[in-house]
Amino acid sequence: MLRQVAEGVLIHQSELIQNNTVVVQGRAGVLLIDAGITGDEMACLANDLRELGQPVAAGFSTHPDWDHVLWHAELGEAPRYGTARCAAQMREVRSKPDWKSREAEGLPPEIAEETPLDLFGLLTGLPAGTARIPWDGPHVRIIEHPAHSPGHAALLVEESGVLAAGDMLSDVLIPMLDNFNGTNDPVEDYLVGLRLLEGVAGDVEVLVPGHGSVCGADEVRTRIDQDRAYVHALRDGHAPDDPRLGPSAKPGWEWVSDIHEGQAQSLAHRSESGGTPG
CATH of the domain at 223: 3.60.15.10
Query: How many domains would you assign to the chain?
Result: 1
Q: State how far the Cα of 31 lies from the Cα of 19, in Å rounded to an integer.
A: 17
Looking at residue 151, its pLDDT comes to: 93
Looking at residue 183, its pLDDT comes to: 64
145: left (phi over 0), alpha (psi -120 to 50) or beta: beta
DSSP bridge pairs for 124: 81
Series of mean pLDDT values for 10-residue runs along the chain (278 residues): 96 94 96 95 96 96 97 97 97 96 94 95 97 97 95 97 98 89 82 97 98 97 98 95 94 94 90 56
Query: Per the domain annotation, does 199 fall within a domain?
Result: yes
Domain hosting 254: range is 3-129+136-272
Query: Per the domain annotation, does 250 fall within a domain?
Result: yes
Per-residue 3-state assignment (H helix, E strand, C coil) for the chain: CCEEEECCEEEEECCCCCEEEEEEECCCCEEEECCCCCHHHHHHHHHHHHHCCCCEEEEECCCCCHHHCCCCHHHCCCCEEEEHHHHHHHHHHHCCCCHHHHHHHCCCCCCHHHCCCCCCCCCEEECCCCCECCCCCCCEEEEECCCCCCCCEEEEECCCCEEECCCCCCCCCCCCCCCCCCCCCHHHHHHHHHHHHHHHHHHCCEEECCECCCEEHHHHHHHHHHHHHHHHHHHHCCCCCCCCCHHHCCCCCCCHHHHHHHHHHHHHHHHHCCCCCC
Query: Per the domain annotation, does 125 fall within a domain?
Result: yes
pTM, full prediction: 0.94
Note whether 90 and 69 are within 8 A (CB).
yes
Q: How far is CA 178 from CA 36, 88, 127, in A?
A: 21, 16, 22
Instruction: Give residues with Cβ within 8 angstroms of 209, minimum separation 6.
Output: 20, 165, 166, 167, 168, 169, 170, 171, 173, 223
Q: How far is CA 215 from CA 162, 169, 204, in A?
A: 10, 10, 10
Query: Per the domain annotation, does 278 fall within a domain?
Result: no
Q: How many CB atoms lie within 10 A of CB 203?
A: 14
